[in-house]
Homo-oligomer: A and B are copies of this chain.
Amino acid sequence: MKVLWIFAHPEAGSLNGSLRDEGVRALREQGHEVRQSDLYAMGWKAVVDRTDVAFDDGDHGRMVVGDAQEAAYRAGTLSPDIRAEQEKLEWADTVVLHFPLWWFGPPAILKGWFDRVLVQGFAQVVTDAEGRTRRYGDGGLAGKRALVVTSVGARESSFGPRGVHGDLNGVLFPVHHGVFWYTGMRALPPFAVYGANRRFTERDFKEYADALRARLEGLESDMPLPFRYEAGGDYDDDLVLRPGVAPGRTGIDAHYEENVPSVPR
């Protein structure tokens, strides 16, 4: 495998930093190639603005963000930091997004990686020969696999199927379905460290490091979350589930082909 490990924590010496080191080492020992985007270490710019797209505000008026990104992508004028990340994504067959869960989502620096790198024409609003938009199971990154590795301060039960924070797959739906699957990447069940705010003993750490190693061994073979393909016939021309599909079900869970799987450790 060719694995791109994207890391979004400010402290290399943190629990997450140590887990990242373990994970990268494990993959290399298993014979895989690994490249990294350590966003804090790179000083990654989080915020979309005109400098991303070499926007000439001489007399063009306002920038329409998506269009300006696509035009710059096609012209090869996206800023070099963005192009470097796109090149890494093209190289990879597997992507690991590793971040502490802050406010039930990725830290801003990683959200900004989505906003700046996954531009129209590259990862989204990619059209096929018939002019159809390729999305949800198809798209610019189709065929790759992707895994969230995250940490939360809370205990595991509180992110379970009936836990107060919402089940972890539900909380991560915008990433799993909205980023990974939208661009064509198969989302693997997330790997989560719970109680990350407590003082970790060496034994606590080893337990999680071993569990992470085991999960990484399944990167190629684990069943991805069973989201529906947009072009698979389940959705009508208004992009709504046909009446016979998941009859009576509404909400985000209706977009799984089967029941929502539980989250393995």
**A contact residues vs B (CB 8 Å cutoff):** 10-14, 40, 46-50, 61-66, 100, 102-109, 111-112, 114-115, 118, 136, 153-155, 157-158, 160-167, 169-171, 173-174, 177-179, 197, 230, 235, 238-241, 246, 249-255, 260
A65's partner among B11, B66, B169 (CB-CB below 8 A) is: B11
A40's partner among B40, B49, B157, B255 (CB-CB below 8 A) is: B49
Measured between beta carbons, the chain B residues less than 8 angstroms from A241 are: 162-164
Say yes or no: B250 contacts A161, CB within 8 Å.
yes
Say yes or no: A170 contacts B173, CB within 8 Å.
yes
Instruction: Knowing A46-B47, A112-B46, A240-B158 are in contact, say whether A62-B104 is a contact too (CB < 8 A).
Output: no
What are 12 of the A-B contact pairs (CB < 8 Å)? Answer: A11-B65, A103-B178, A104-B173, A107-B112, A108-B111, A158-B238, A161-B250, A162-B254, A163-B238, A164-B241, A165-B239, A171-B173
Nearest opposing residue in chain B for A14, CB measure: B62
Copies in the complex: 2
Say yes or no: A164 contacts B136, CB within 8 Å.
yes
A260's partner among B169, B235, B251 (CB-CB below 8 A) is: B251
A239's partner among B153, B164, B250 (CB-CB below 8 A) is: B164
Say yes or no: A239 contacts B62, CB within 8 Å.
no
A111's partner among B103, B154, B165, B246 (CB-CB below 8 A) is: B103
Assembled-state Cα–Cα distance A12/B235 (Å): 36
Nearest opposing residue in chain B for A160, CB measure: B240
Measured between beta carbons, the chain B residues less than 8 angstroms from A197 are: 64, 66
Q: Chain B nearest CB: distance from A161 CB in Å?
A: 4
Say yes or no: B179 contacts A103, CB within 8 Å.
yes
Measured between beta carbons, the chain B residues less than 8 angstroms from A250 are: 161-162, 167, 260
Assembled-state Cα–Cα distance A62/B14 (Å): 7
Q: Chain B nearest CB: distance from A80 CB in Å?
A: 19
